[in-house]
Amino acid sequence: MSNTAAAIITIGDELLIGQVTDTNSGWIAQRMNELGIDVLRRVAVGDEKNAIINALDAELKDASIVIITGGLGPTADDITKPLLNEYFGGKLVISEPVLAHLKELFSRRNRPFLERNMKQAEVPDVCTVLFNKMGTAPGMWFDKDGKVIVSLPGVPFEMMHIMQVEVLPRLKERFTSEPIIHRSVITAGEGESFIAERISDIEAALPARIKLAYLPGAGMVRLRLTGRGGGVESLVKDLELYQHQIAERLANVVIATEDIPLEQILGRWFMANGATLGMAESCTGGYLSHHITQVKGSSEYFKGSIVCYSNEIKEKILGVKKTTIEEYGAVSEETVTEMARAAIGVLDVDYSYAVTGIMSEGGESDRLEIGTVWMAVADKTNVVAKKFWFPYDRARNKEMAVSMGMLMIWKFINKQL
Amino acid sequence: MSNTAAAIITIGDELLIGQVTDTNSGWIAQRMNELGIDVLRRVAVGDEKNAIINALDAELKDASIVIITGGLGPTADDITKPLLNEYFGGKLVISEPVLAHLKELFSRRNRPFLERNMKQAEVPDVCTVLFNKMGTAPGMWFDKDGKVIVSLPGVPFEMMHIMQVEVLPRLKERFTSEPIIHRSVITAGEGESFIAERISDIEAALPARIKLAYLPGAGMVRLRLTGRGGGVESLVKDLELYQHQIAERLANVVIATEDIPLEQILGRWFMANGATLGMAESCTGGYLSHHITQVKGSSEYFKGSIVCYSNEIKEKILGVKKTTIEEYGAVSEETVTEMARAAIGVLDVDYSYAVTGIMSEGGESDRLEIGTVWMAVADKTNVVAKKFWFPYDRARNKEMAVSMGMLMIWKFINKQL
């Protein structure tokens, strides 16, 4: 069974000047992967006729499936629909179901239906219309020489909706592919070259159908085993054998054997242990709390956070002593320790995390180096504080503080701190 | 003067299975744009020799500059360096400055220097080494037939550092390009087709050197005028003329004439008005507070947030009445109004924002539809509450709530609510 190959083309000048971050092609890649379809390339081009046609020609050479997003809006800079119509030699005709949907949408919003909006109901007569319940621009499915070309709006939730309801079921029916299966080992506290060294004999012994990849980031390295071929059952068995070997060898640094984010690893522990968590965040401004609450069901164990950006709030709500801040500074072991201890009581939780630091100029940056961050984790009897230093800009320092913060909570609850 | 064109190639299997979001190529595209260099295409390929070579061949046809990121790590899945060495007919040699840097890095971290790490000091003898102070993998600059190929590590802050210190100054010296200049008009509260209708005569009258693009998202539409050619001074004059015309025509929906995020627009207002802001966040879990604190200097006006994920914290710290929550529910006009009013007093601020809602199953999802969100904005005398409904998944609903929340604060302080 040969593998089906896909390519993803994203269209929009905003991508080529870096005005927006493309999250669409990553999401589509995940879905292709789940179907066992290889993504060969992801290409971004501008709202420019020749660029789009060249990309289509080039990708259709190697791929059986080309998924295109963007350029379907009602304004003059959106050229994908007439271009595809011409490319596939069609004629633009009004789609009655799309027209009815648009009219209903506009009347529900009490907006007049403009000539311009009429154009949004037009579709090439050579495509299968993919109805877009979530928005105004329908998707389009073209067949050409046994290959499939799908065009979708660039608005992420509209694209996702049409993919799930219209595109994925059709692809599943049309293309049968051997599944691609992944197994992961997530580690913390050791660099990728040391990890590679420790498991080099296991890596060397991997069969050809299994590949190992290392993804380093923020104090952690994610190891991903990817396999395909030779029957699903035996493949899963092999993957899990090697996953187990690697996890055993790296036991002292393994934090999970599943590729899930740290907030979810924490969530499982708090859920399983019936424990509660609260926070006192200064320099991360609520970003760690945001991560924790990304997990469905987090309200079971996460009670809340005092985002104490000002010293008044550290004092007034948490009850950090004024003298502590005056004597040692807001960014200090003493202050962060008091913050963590106070959070246990104020939020009435079993575990607390506290953080205070200097992310860019201002505040105590005359006294301390920018990037200095103090963190503490506490339970009802103990508190551990630790100093970090991050060398990046404001946004990246915040990201790092959040990753290292979650890792510190993980180590604390696993008695590794 | 003809325009210099660039292409960006990102390398890594993780991009083709959607395991990580590529932020590198957007950042690089922004920098190219600032230099007046057109980005023709952004391409992502896997850690696979032929795919990388094909991408290089294809992009070198149209572009004078090809920037490559990724695949420079110390593990077996990283193949970019030997591949480029072969592609440009070089020989791998030890770079003494890189070796010295690596040894110092490892000794500072108290880690042994492995054979594997020695390999990281190797560079093709046909490239200019781009020293990487931030990490272990050096960047490489190749010249070929008047074209430039740059290879950089995929770790974002290492890539950014080498770009800023080594690559951008060299590109600026080598290529002279007419600058690309943008002007923006940011609107809120009207759909893109209505906006396009209202300014259709202005759009039709734009000279050839100026393009107009519409970027819709979360209750807002960003209009971007992009111009190039005919002399900078006259171009800026023209761009600002059309920007002014558009802003004047759309006056009732314009919120800024600069492409900056909403949190920064808010920040400027609070700074200029010497006013303070605080929050009480339930369902957004600190994410709005995180956005506000992304702005440098936000500690001048942002005092903090009570992330009251549990009802106890709403009652205990904010002082929301138990009876209000019991009678009307935690997600209700009454509760959110009390939260916003309480935040003014508890956080001692001039303005407050409060939010409570249901992002996914659980909580009050038996009583209310999932996606129901109540928000309120208050000052010392007034409070306005508003109900929203978001139809997406948990993460996207949170994003939407944060965008609409910032917009609501903006409308309140501008007396448009």
Report d(CA B29, CA B147) in Å as an integer: 18
Do residue B299 and residue A363 have CB atoms under 8 angstroms apart? yes
Report d(CA A351, CA A345) in Å as an integer: 10
Does A241 contact B at CB distance below 8 Å? no
For chain A, the straight-line distance linking the first and the last C-alpha, in angstroms and rounded, comes to 50
Q: How many residues does chain B have?
A: 417
- The whole-number pLDDT of residue B2 equals 58
Does the pLDDT value for residue A275 go beyond 90?
A: yes
Does B365 contact A at CB distance below 8 Å? no
Do residue B305 and residue A304 have CB atoms under 8 angstroms apart? no
Do residue B304 and residue A292 have CB atoms under 8 angstroms apart? no
Residue numbers of B between 190 and 219 with CB closer than 8 Å to A: 191-194, 196-197, 203, 211-217
How many residue pairs from chains A and B have C-beta atoms closer than 8 A? Answer: 302
Residue numbers of A between 216 and 235 with CB closer than 8 Å to B: 216-217, 224, 226
User: For residue A98, what are its two tokens?
Assistant: 């799309």
**pLDDT confidence of B70, banded at 50, 70, 90?**
very high
For residues A307-318, one letter each, b for 16 or more C-beta atoms within 10 angstroms of the residue's C-beta and e for the rest, the string is: bbbbbebbbbbb
- A122-124 and A128-130 beta bridge pairing: unpaired
Does B299 contact A at CB distance below 8 Å? yes
Output the 3-class SS for A243-281: HHHHHHHCHHHEEECCCCCHHHHHHHHHHHHCCCEEEEE
Report d(CA B75, CA B88) in Å as an integer: 22
- Residues of A whose CB is below 8 A from B180: 17
CATH class of A262-413: alpha beta
Report d(CA B192, CA B195) in Å as an integer: 5
Do residue A74 and residue B38 have CB atoms under 8 angstroms apart? no
- The whole-number pLDDT of residue B361 equals 76
Does the pLDDT value for residue B379 go beyond 90?
A: yes
CA proximity to A67, closest of A95, A98, A35: A35
Does the pLDDT value for residue B82 go beyond 90?
A: yes
Report d(CA A303, CA A159) in Å as an integer: 35
The closest CB to that of A299, out of B156, B297, B362, belongs to B362
Q: Where are the domains of chain B?
A: 5-174, 181-256, 262-413
Distances (CA, A) of B366 to A299, A327, B357, B363, B390: 16, 51, 13, 8, 17
Does the pLDDT value for residue B401 go beyond 50?
A: yes
- The whole-number pLDDT of residue A132 equals 92
- Residues of A whose CB is below 8 A from B105: none
Look up tokens 């789009």; give the residue.
A52
CB B43 within 8 A of CB B59: yes
Residue B173, min C-alpha distance to chain A (Å): 21
Report d(CA A372, CA A387) in Å as an integer: 7
Rounded mean pLDDT, B95-116: 86
Rounded mean pLDDT, A301-325: 95
The closest CB to that of B23, out of A21, A215, A398, belongs to A21
For chain B, the straight-line distance linking the first and the last C-alpha, in angstroms and rounded, comes to 50
Does B134 contact A at CB distance below 8 Å? yes
Report d(CA B193, CA B342) in Å as an integer: 41
Q: What are all long-range contacts of A401-404, with beta carbons under 8 Å and residues at least 24 apart?
A: A401/A283, A401/A284, A401/A287, A401/A288, A401/A355, A401/A357, A401/A359, A401/A373, A401/A375, A402/A284, A402/A287, A402/A288, A402/A291, A403/A217, A403/A218, A403/A219, A403/A220, A403/A262, A404/A218, A404/A219, A404/A375
Does B177 contact A at CB distance below 8 Å? no
Does A310 contact B at CB distance below 8 Å? yes
Tell me, rounded to whole angstroms, the distance of Cα A72 from its chain centroid. 25
Look up tokens 């909570």; give the residue.
A409
> Which of these ranges, A8-22, A155-169, A354-368, B219-233, has the smallest mean pLDDT?
A354-368
CA angle, residues B66, B68, B69, in degrees to nearest 5:
155
- The whole-number pLDDT of residue B223 equals 94
The closest CB to that of A33, out of B17, B20, B23, belongs to B17
Residue B351, min C-alpha distance to chain A (Å): 15
- Residues of A whose CB is below 8 A from B111: 191, 194
> Which of these ranges, A100-114, B283-297, B382-396, has the smallest mean pLDDT?
A100-114
User: For residue A25, what are its two tokens?
Assistant: 């092609």
Residue B62, min C-alpha distance to chain A (Å): 11
- Residues of A whose CB is below 8 A from B361: 296
Q: What is the pTM of this model?
A: 0.83
Among residues of chain A, what percentage have pLDDT more than 70? Answer: 99
Report d(CA B358, CA B331) in Å as an integer: 7
Architecture of domain B5-174: 3-Layer(aba) Sandwich (3.40)
Q: Which of B206, B266, B310 to mutate: most A Cβ within 10 Å? A: B310
DSSP E strand boundaries for B335-382 = 351-357, 372-378
Does B397 contact A at CB distance below 8 Å? no
**Residue B326: Cβ within 10 Å count:** 10
Q: Which residues pair with A227 in a beta bridge?
A: A181, A210
For residues A359-374, one letter each, b for 16 or more C-beta atoms within 10 angstroms of the residue's C-beta and e for the rest, the string is: bbeebbeeebebbbbb
Does A69 contact B at CB distance below 8 Å? no
Does A293 contact B at CB distance below 8 Å? yes
A18 three-state secondary structure: coil
- For residue B24, the 8-state DSSP code is H
**Residue A380: Cβ within 10 Å count:** 12
Residue type for A325, please? I
**pLDDT confidence of B315, banded at 50, 70, 90?**
very high
Does the pLDDT value for residue B366 go beyond 80?
A: no
- The whole-number pLDDT of residue A21 equals 83
Does B180 contact A at CB distance below 8 Å? yes
A301 three-state secondary structure: coil
Q: Which residues pair with A356 in a beta bridge?
A: A374
Sheet holding A139-144, edge to edge: A128-130, A139-144, A147-152, A65-69, A5-11, A38-45, B38-45, B5-11, B65-69, B147-152, B139-144, B128-130
Does A76 contact B at CB distance below 8 Å? yes
Report d(CA B242, CA B224) in Å as an integer: 11
Report d(CA B321, CA B326) in Å as an integer: 9
Does the pLDDT value for residue A394 go beyond 90?
A: no
Do residue A44 and residue B46 have CB atoms under 8 angstroms apart? no
Do residue B40 and residue A30 have CB atoms under 8 angstroms apart? no
Q: Which of A299, A302, A394 to mutate: most B Cβ within 10 Å? A: A299
Q: Which of the two residues, B51 and B394, has the higher pLDDT score?
A: B51
- The whole-number pLDDT of residue B400 equals 87
- The whole-number pLDDT of residue B302 equals 97
- Residues of B whose CB is below 8 A from A348: 312, 316
Do residue A194 and residue B114 have CB atoms under 8 angstroms apart? yes
Do residue A15 and residue B309 have CB atoms under 8 angstroms apart? no
Residue A395: closest CA among chain B residues belongs to which residue? B294
Does B371 contact A at CB distance below 8 Å? no
Residue B158: closest CA among chain A residues belongs to which residue? A392
| pLDDT per residue as tens digits for the range A210-247 | 999 888 877 789 999 999 888 889 999 999 999 999 99
Residue A55 Rama label (left phi>0; alpha psi -120 to 50; beta):
alpha
B179 three-state secondary structure: coil
Do residue A192 and residue B45 have CB atoms under 8 angstroms apart? no
| pLDDT per residue as tens digits for the range B210-234 | 999 888 877 789 999 999 888 889 9
The closest CB to that of B16, out of A29, A114, A224, belongs to A29
Do residue B51 and residue A74 have CB atoms under 8 angstroms apart? no
Residue A182: closest CA among chain B residues belongs to which residue? B17
Quickly list DSSP for A376-409.
EEE-SS-EEEEEEE--S-HHHHHHHHHHHHHHHH
Show Cβ contacts of residue B190 under 8 Å, excluding neighbours closer than 6 positions. B221, B250, B253
- B147-152 and B65-69 beta bridge pairing: parallel
Report d(CA B293, CA A377) in Å as an integer: 23
Query: What backbone torsions phi and psi does residue B355 show, to the nearest 5 degrees?
Result: -145, 140
Does B124 contact A at CB distance below 8 Å? no
CB A46 within 8 A of CB A11: yes
Helix (H) / strand (E) containing B39: strand B38-45
- Residues of B whose CB is below 8 A from A182: 17
Do residue A18 and residue B27 have CB atoms under 8 angstroms apart? yes
Is A181-256 a domain of CATH 3.30.70.2860?
yes
B173 burial level (CB within 10 Å; 0-12, 13-18, 19+)? exposed
Look up tokens 């980005």; give the residue.
B39
- The whole-number pLDDT of residue B1 equals 41
Look up tokens 């990753």; give the residue.
A403
**Average pLDDT of the residues of chain B:** 92
Do residue B111 and residue A281 have CB atoms under 8 angstroms apart? no
CB A40 within 8 A of CB B16: yes
A198 burial level (CB within 10 Å; 0-12, 13-18, 19+)? middle
Rounded mean pLDDT, B384-408: 90
Distances (CA, A) of B363 to B35, B332, B367: 51, 13, 9
- The whole-number pLDDT of residue A214 equals 87
Report d(CA A250, CA B242) in Å as an integer: 62
Report d(CA B277, CA B291) in Å as an integer: 13
The closest CB to that of A296, out of B134, B308, B360, belongs to B360
- The whole-number pLDDT of residue A1 equals 41
The closest CB to that of B289, out of A14, A213, A286, belongs to A286
Look up tokens 């009732």; give the residue.
B252
- Residues of B whose CB is below 8 A from A61: none
